[in-house]
Chains A and B, each alone.
Chain A
């Protein structure tokens, strides 16, 4: 039947026919391509222009799932539409064969169909309706894709829709039948409602390769407005058929529901909505329905549950991670601050050991921030201990306590205190710095001779004589101005009455004598060809070997010289000059005047001599010689001489020696004022003694000391190696006084009786009971003292007594009120191991004789902390939440420690001797004073520290 159409297409065979026309398989002669030629039946009645316009509309369609229309040709009276040839078969054929498709397969086709519909419905100007979607109009290609065919009754939509031109039963929407289910009422529109002039009857057409659906008809006589939702219904019905294998009922309301075992609920819901009789309740666009299919995965409850599970897991783990991170960060910051607090506490202790009390308090306060915030750790015991020690609230003994550390521009050459101690002058290279000792304020910085031989002395509390630049200067600290200036000077000496000064410059052979009040150079004392010893470089080295001293009233001037000679010059009559050594091997001289007596020492490399000269009789009243050097100071209060580790005051006539200080190491420097003596020793210690040569306190840190000074209530220490001087202030604590006793009564322990009226001082072989005023109530010798094993002071209610335990188990009890023997009982022999246990509410503290005492948790038995390792624990007392432990050190020193609940030290309690029932701490300074203190809380300490 070969037929050539329009000289281009060769008709091969007929492959289908229907209401729309006859479909042929053809071939493009030139391209050799297979095409479909559809001969339109309407050629009989329709104008070719109408057909052309329709075909032109279809020709512009280009979509994967829609056949491409290529051409429109007229051959004779027949109009042919030329389009793609689609291989495969329409879906109605497998349906008729009873073939069933998988849900996934149908969904894939549904998506492809919906994409095609989206394309059609979106064609300008208002979209195109296929209007006859059904299995027979869907081709399945060999690639298992689909192609929507047969656009015979496809309609170009108007602005409000289109009228139907035909339908296929079961697949056509209710609108195709003229039934309107929208809203409540069902309306059927008659031909009077025709909105367009399209033909009301139109034969169904099928494309080549597709068969005409038997149910299809073109007999729809009612013209009802169609829109894209009609196509959606048809597609839903088609998919219904494909999914279930059942052709849907013609009446949309009688469509058999999809069973739960036929289809996934989500897919069934999509189909159900697509086939809703009411167009308003269907998918409103193909795009909506397409999205519903595309989101089947996402909208599936299992997938939602899975995603929710993922999200919840991620959220929980993220929150957990962040919470852990926050906790770790907080802990880290707290650790940092804790370490910082530890460091600051150590700084505080170091500052305190240097005498820098203000610095110690400042460091301790920094370690104890008031508002630590979330990252701040709880106050550390170390910081509290540092603050407590810096404030010295539990150090109630009298004595010189660290007061201030004065910073200097350079290492000191000389440091002196004013007579009353209210001023301190420190000479450094080229400068004299003057300070107020109480406030630490620098009162003056005066230019000085650039020599280590330069000197500075106080001529009164506010009058300073110093070796200024090129001149001896007298400076008034109150007025802040120079009073007068003399000749150039380095060494300066002042008479004890402060009226006369003498000065020598370097190794010049003349001394100038001034009236201090006026600055008048009264006379010059010539040394002949002699001069004082100097070193080649006197800027950096001052051996302090020279002696230059005026007597108390300015009548005598003693001077040593570089040739080893020593002469006492009479300032009134040079005929009376006393040459003590004309020349000698001595290189180091010290000395001074007490009234008419001149005391000096002269030291060579091999020997040292000390002598006292009566200048009235010009006789020697006393003297020593030895291999060790003698250090001598003499003023109107006496002559003081020391050698090795002993310092004595020497009576110039009788030679009687009064011990002033006895130290553990050789004395390198000493100072005296009033009742106090201060020594510096070559072991780096600095020790204060009272007038009875009793050791008041020893500072073991910060030395060695080259300069020591005591005056009034202040003391000063300095080293040539450090750019600072330390000021100490004499402190008394009368407000804390609890009781006094005879300091000469030797005892190991002191206890207050329960009624608080008497004090018991006891040692292993005796005890004394005395009143609070020191009056002796009883002195008792303990019998068989060598057999005493232990002593325990006990308080119960208003009763208190000393329990003396003997090795044989005998226990004697003595009243703390009057010292009478209360009882004597024979008990069991005591445990010789001296192992003791103490208990608090939460702790058990063990105290072995040899070993470190340790605290254990009473409930768990776990070790809480080991206590002092180098001391013997004697008592444990619980005071509130704190624990006070008392020790005897290896050196026999008694002290206490205030511990927190974790046995961390909060405070040192030096010289602690007793703890009263109300928690009051009692301290025994072993010098006749019992003093008391309450336990300070951290807040109280902070408040104290912040007081101006």
Chain B
């Protein structure tokens, strides 16, 4: 595999991996965010704005 193929497929793989990682991170952060907001609502009440 020459350099250009390495760049092409490696880059595509990195893109795909970052998209997957982004999806996973989005799910995880959304869940942790929800949990945190719920905890903050318990502490401070619902957000007014």
Contacts and interface: CB of A to CB of B under 8 A. Distances in A.
Q: Which of A111, A306, A326 has the most CB of B within 10 A?
A: A306
B41 A330 contact: no
B37 A327 contact: no
B14 A327 contact: yes
Nearest to B29: A310
A297 interface: yes
A294 B49 contact: yes
Contacts of A757: none
Given A294-B48, A306-B36, A324-B14, A104 B7 contact: no
Contacts of B17: 320, 324
Interface stretch (A332-340, A450-458, A642-650): A332-340
Residue picked from A105, A296, A317, most chain B C-beta under 10 Å: A317
A297 B6 CA distance: 47
A103 B43 CA distance: 6
A105 B45 contact: yes
Contacts of A18: none
Contacts of B5: 331, 335
Given A104-B42, A104-B43, A317 B18 contact: yes
A33 interface: no
A306 B8 contact: no
Nearest to B44: A296
Contacts of A108: 45-46
Nearest to B28: A313
A114 to B, nearest CB: 10
For the residues of B in contact with A, the DSSP-based class is helix
Contact of A377 (B4, B12, B22): B4
Most chain A beta carbons < 10 A, residue from B13, B16, B44, B46: B44
Interface in B1-49: 2-19, 21-22, 25, 29, 32-33, 36-37, 39-49
Contacts of A103: 43-45
A264 B44 contact: yes
Given A313-B25, A313-B29, A328-B8, A321 B15 contact: yes
B3 to A, nearest CB: 7
Contacts of B7: 327-328, 330-331, 334
Contacts of A338: 2, 4
A335 B8 contact: yes
Given A264-B44, A306-B32, A313-B25, A325 B10 contact: no
A321 B3 contact: no
Interface string A295-336: 011001011001001100110011011011111111110110
A293 B44 CA distance: 8
A329 B11 CA distance: 8
A317 B33 CA distance: 18
A643 B46 CA distance: 107
A324 B13 contact: yes
Contacts of B46: 108
Contact of A326 (B6, B11, B43): B11
A378 interface: yes
B40 A303 contact: yes
Given A264-B44, A309-B29, A324-B11, A317 B4 contact: no
B4 A320 contact: no
Given A327-B7, A328-B7, A378-B3, A321 B40 contact: no
A328 B36 contact: no
A318 B36 CA distance: 24
Given A303-B40, A330-B7, A334-B3, A321 B33 contact: no
A496 interface: no
Nearest to A109: B45
B41 to A, nearest CB: 7
Contact of B15 (A267, A297, A328, A334): A328
A325 B7 CA distance: 10
Given A294-B48, A331-B6, A321 B22 contact: yes
B11 A330 contact: yes
A444 B16 CA distance: 64
Contact of A296 (B2, B15, B21, B40): B40
A107 interface: yes
B44 A107 contact: yes
B28 to A, nearest CB: 9
Contacts of A293: 44
A331 B15 contact: no
B14 to A, nearest CB: 3
A329 B4 CA distance: 10
Nearest to B16: A324
Given A310-B29, A331-B4, A107 B18 contact: no
A313 B46 CA distance: 27
Interface in A93-110: 103-105, 107-108
Nearest to A330: B7
Nearest to A380: B2
Interface in A235-287: 264, 267
A313 B45 CA distance: 28
A297 B37 contact: yes
Given A104-B42, A105-B45, A325-B15, A317 B22 contact: yes
Contacts of A332: 8
A767 to B, nearest CB: 45
A299 B27 CA distance: 23
Contacts of B15: 321, 324-325, 328
A320 B11 CA distance: 9
A324 B12 contact: yes
Contacts of B41: 104
Contact of A331 (B8, B19, B37): B8
Nearest to A332: B8
Contacts of B32: 306
B25 A104 contact: no
Given A104-B41, A104-B42, A334 B14 contact: no
Interface in A322-375: 323-332, 334-335, 338
B10 A331 contact: yes
Nearest to B33: A306
Contacts of A377: 2-4
Contacts of A323: 11, 14
Nearest to A267: B44
15 contacts: A104-B42, A264-B44, A267-B44, A296-B44, A303-B36, A306-B29, A324-B13, A327-B7, A327-B14, A329-B11, A330-B4, A331-B4, A331-B6, A331-B7, A335-B8
Given A105-B45, A303-B36, A377-B4, 11 more contacts: A267-B44, A294-B47, A313-B29, A327-B14, A328-B9, A328-B14, A331-B4, A331-B8, A334-B7, A335-B4, A338-B2
Interface of B: 2-19, 21-22, 25, 29, 32-33, 36-37, 39-49
Interface of A: 103-105, 107-108, 111, 264, 267, 293-294, 296-297, 300, 302-303, 306, 309-310, 313-314, 317-318, 320-321, 323-332, 334-335, 338, 377-378
Shortest beta-carbon contacts, A-B, top 10: A331-B8, A328-B11, A331-B7, A324-B14, A327-B11, A334-B4, A104-B45, A324-B15, A321-B18, A320-B18
